[in-house]
Amino acid sequence: MFNWLRRARREPPSLKPEVRDAVIAAFPFLALPDAADAARLEEIAAGFLRDKGFTPVHGLDADDFMLTAIAMQAALPVLHLGPRAYDDFEEIVIYPGEFQVEREATDEFGIVHDDSGARAGETMAGGPVILGWEEIRRGAQGDGPAFAPVIHEFAHKLDMRNGGVADGIPAFDPKLHAGLDPDDWADELDAAWEAFGGAVEDLEDRFPRSIDPESDEGRAIYERELPLDAYAAESEAEFFAVATEAYFVTPARLRGAFPHLAAMFDAYFRPGRSVG
């Protein structure tokens, strides 16, 4: 009996196969071609389900599919970094859909702005990650720029490990990221962000006046013309999070638009591994 108990303790956590397969079918970017990577993703996701608390609110009924979908997507950015990158928080709060945030933000000039509004996700330094389930499901549809709120918010978590503030420069592990320099990272990220911001401004300048940018037709134009969701232009922190979504969901699109940034992300997210 005691030998059995020792083996059980050593066995890595696993997901329910039927639920895992349903999640991968719904979110195809989770289908990893490398068998070792796929096994590692499952192990990290199962550990995430075991170790983190999930709190559904506003009457949401959280089932195995929902929790596994969140866990597998959260595991993807730390596939080669390790789950300890998420050791600064314990809870994921899940709303049925978008949720309202009331907040003020102070800009670099000390001016306070109203930053309230509807959110698909929200991340607090040292605190919970908040997600909207319908927005997560929406991210599994369409073929435009990547929209993956789980990856987006957990990219913010990685970003915040470097000083507690999201600024687009994540913490570097001395062993994994010896070849990465924070100043070089900041320069490359800023250059890509400014180039993307210029592309957004150019599109807005020539946007047809007869089309509402918020309409389905307007959003389709943004998706067709831009390599990333336009929200990436908001700040370096949002650019990093949106680009991370693209890195894992639409990698060819990111590499085509920002090859140097994609190579830098390779060195961060896949240290020591060749990328074809």
Residue 8 lies in a domain: no
Distance CA 135, CA 139 (A): 6
pLDDT of res. 125 = 83
Do 246 and 261 contact (CB within 8 A), yes or no? no
Residue 45 lies in a domain: yes
Residue 2 lies in a domain: no
Range from 69-78, 117-126, 132-141 that averages highest in pLDDT: 69-78
In this prediction, residues 223-250 reach a mean pLDDT of 95
Name beta bridge partners: 118. Answer: 100
- Read off the pLDDT band of 118 (50, 70, 90): low
**What is the span of the domain harbouring residue 47?**
13-269
Residue 125 lies in a domain: yes
Residue 6 lies in a domain: no
Residue 207 confidence (pLDDT) above 60: yes
Residue-wise pLDDT for 81-110, tens only, equals 999 999 999 999 999 976 566 654 544 554
Helix boundaries (H) for the chain: 2-10, 17-26, 35-51, 64-75, 133-138, 149-160, 182-205, 216-225, 236-249, 251-257, 259-269
In this prediction, residues 29-44 reach a mean pLDDT of 97
The residue count of the chain comes to 276
Name beta bridge partners: 100. Answer: 118
Residue 3 lies in a domain: no
Residue 183 lies in a domain: yes
pLDDT of res. 126 = 85
In this prediction, residues 186-215 reach a mean pLDDT of 93
The answer for residues whose C-beta is within 8 angstroms of residue 257's C-beta and 6 or more apart is 227, 228
The answer for residues whose C-beta is within 8 angstroms of residue 171's C-beta and 6 or more apart is 158, 161, 162
Residue 4 lies in a domain: no
- Indicate the number of domains in the chain: 1
Half-sphere exposure of 169 (CA within 13 A, CB side): 13
Residue-wise pLDDT for 62-88, tens only, equals 999 999 999 999 999 999 999 999 999
- Read off the pLDDT band of 209 (50, 70, 90): confident
Do 72 and 31 contact (CB within 8 A), yes or no? no
Distance CA 233, CA 201 (A): 9
Residue 113 confidence (pLDDT) above 80: no
Distance CA 2, CA 45 (A): 28
Higher pLDDT, 124 or 3: 124
- CATH code, domain carrying 158: 1.10.472.150
In this structure, how many other beta carbons lie within 10 angstroms of the beta carbon of residue 59?
A: 6
Give the lowest-confidence range in 56-65, 103-112, 248-257.
Answer: 103-112
pTM here?
0.87
